[in-house]
Amino acid sequence: MNTGELVLRGQDARGVVTLTLNRPMAFNALSEGMLDALQAALDKLASDTTVRAVVIAGAGKAFCAGHDLKEMRAAPSLGYYQRLFAQCGRMMLAIQQLPVPVIARVHGIATAAGCQLVAMCDLAVAARDARFAVSGVNFGLFCSTPSVALSRNLARKAAFEMLVTGAFIGAEEAQAKGLVNRVADPERLDAEVEALLAQIVAKPRVALAMGKQLFYRQLEEGIEAAYADAEATMACNMMEPSALEGVQAFIDKRPPAWK
């Protein structure tokens, strides 16, 4: 891997890909270049059937400090800001559209669009001393795009409080509010991520892909449409060889022999 790259990629023998934000001196702020690099990496992953799970991490002392404010102020115009936030939105949606689970590995701070990035990942594991905020309001800028992700992960009042106060919350409060799944001591962060990954890669890829797509689709549907969608998805899933083998293995009281 070239350490001059804005996003570093590593892949292990299981198909677990780690994308590391690599602007440590800028707390991994999401510059336009960083957004382009992330988008390119995610686009490649979308069609790579060897990938089983993705971890998004940050180099240096922080996960991600949000947008690069210096870059944003360099040449202000409505058109520029519209293009920038549309670019960021496409990247965030690409995470949700990946057919494999995506885990945020969070240490240090995750602020504004960095907090949004945590919320857009399917799962998140945080170091106990990590801190989270959507702090744009402190500078006169309501974190509107992060609010989309936060309001779909946290209870409404909890999300709105973060958005209107801009205050930091710790990892354990973030877990209680639903922003992260697991909290670990800093020296145990990688071990906790690995424990979650081990459970994921032990499952059939096709079942997780179908399930992830359905999970996010049905959230945006009314309950009747959601049930109809889920019923159709489950019927199709049941016809997959991995599901047929898994159910037969349960009946036979033996471990499944997935290919």
- All structural domains of the chain with their residue ranges: 7-201, 205-252
pLDDT of residue 3: 47
pLDDT in tens, 226-252: 888 888 887 888 788 888 888 888 889
Element (H, E) at 16: strand 16-21
d(CA 165, CA 137): 7
What the block records as the tokens of 36 is 């382009």
Alpha carbon separation from 128 to 93, 106, 189 (Å, rounded): 27, 9, 9
In CATH terms, the superfamily for domain 205-252 is: Lyase 2-enoyl-coa Hydratase, Chain  A, domain 2 (1.10.12.10)
SS3 229: helix
Q: Which CATH architecture has domain 7-201?
A: Alpha-Beta Complex (3.90)
- Answer whether residue 45 shows pLDDT above 90: yes
Number of Cβ within 10 Å of residue 104's Cβ equals 28
Burial of 178 (0-12, 13-18, 19+ CB in 10 A): middle
pTM as predicted = 0.93
Element (H, E) at 54: strand 53-58
pLDDT averaged over every residue in the chain: 94
End-to-end CA distance of the chain: 31
